[in-house]
Amino acid sequence: MSLGSHLLPAGAVLLLWFGSTALIAWMANRSRATYRRSLAIGGVAGAAGLLTIAATAQSMTVGAVYLSFCGALVVWGWQELAFLTGAVGGPRRCVADPMATGWRRFSQATATVIYHEIALAVTLLLLLLVTWGAPNQTGTAAFALLFVLRLSTKLNLFLGTPNFSDELLPTHLRYLLTYFGPSRLGFWLLVSLVAVFALAVWLGTRVAVAPSGAETTAAGLLFALAALGALEHVFLALPIRDGALWRWALPTRRREEIKGGGYGL
């Protein structure tokens, strides 16, 4: 296999990840009057992403692998946009009870995002059913990987991490910050770092042993996605505000709020 066949998937994932995050951050931080149109556009795009994954499931070519992967990112982006605009969240939409501890605190935190988690789980189940037994599982695997990585991030934030970049969180969702744990490097974050890095390494070995161009591409895409997930977990442990990477994509009003320290709940 050529060096380009290994580097191209990694470059594609990096470009798609950076661009899609910037687009969602821009849409979610605009005026709430624009949300209905954004959600309508996102819904159409999400449906197209689902159809793309289904249509390419029986084709194990390099082009079909890329299309399936892109379909998964579009579906994921649609779900993230629904959450960040407040369309799908949970029944609890207020700050945390400062007196709540243990299971009560966990229950309250779960109630802020449970509808979104159910939507993600149902979507993943749908993708599993649509692609079951098909040769091209790239889209389903990518969505499952994103689901696991994001769930790990959410649990770590609840338990507490040394760092978290909140620039991309819209103002109307800033009550979620009150459910985050103390600033500390906890045991669960260390376990998560080891697990995510181990997953990335395992996917990297699959790239090396993949027997065909399409399988190499699929493994390379998933490896790059896992590597970015590992990097996201590293950012939780280090004093690096990765949200600054996309600050340029935010609407001018939101950038001015951040510049002026407008982070109030």
Angle between helices 62-84 and 138-159 (to 10 degrees): 30
Q: How many residues does the chain have?
A: 265
pTM over 0.95: no
Q: Report the greatest alpha carbon distance in the chain.
A: 59
Q: Which of 57-66, 107-116, 250-259 has the lowest mean pLDDT?
A: 250-259
Per-residue confidence (pLDDT) for residue 5, from 0 to 100? 59
Q: Is 183 within 8 Å of 156 (Cβ atoms)?
A: no
**In whole angstroms, what is the distance from residue 233 CA to residue 45 CA?**
28
Q: Where are the domains of the chain?
A: 3-92+100-259
List pLDDT tens digits, range 183-241: 888 899 999 999 999 999 999 898 888 777 889 999 999 999 999 999 999 989 887 76
When comparing pLDDT for 227 and 246, which is higher? 227
List pLDDT tens digits, range 61-111: 999 999 999 999 999 999 999 999 999 999 999 999 999 999 999 999 999
When comparing pLDDT for 17 and 140, which is higher? 140
3-state secondary structure the chain: CCHHHHHHHHHHHHHHHHHHHHHHHHHHCCCHHHHHHHHHHHHHHHHHHHHHHHHHCCCCCHHHHHHHHHHHHHHHHHHHHHHHCCCCCCCCCCCCCCCCCHHHHHHHHHHCCHHHHHHHHHHHHHHHHHHCCCCCCHHHHHHHHHHHHHHHHHHHHHHCCCCCCCCCCCHHHHHHHHHCCCCCCCHHHHHHHHHHHHHHHHHHHHHHHCCCHHHHHHHHHHHHHHHHHHHHHHHHHCCCCHHHHHHHHCCHHHHHHHHCCCCCC
Within its chain, how far is the Cα of 73 from the centroid? 9
Please, what's the b/e burial string for 39-61 (b: 16 or more CB within 10 A of its CB; e: otherwise)?
Answer: beebeebbeebbebbbebbeebe
**In whole angstroms, what is the distance from residue 32 CA to residue 17 CA?**
24
List pLDDT tens digits, range 118-174: 999 999 999 999 999 999 999 999 999 999 999 999 999 999 998 887 778 898 999
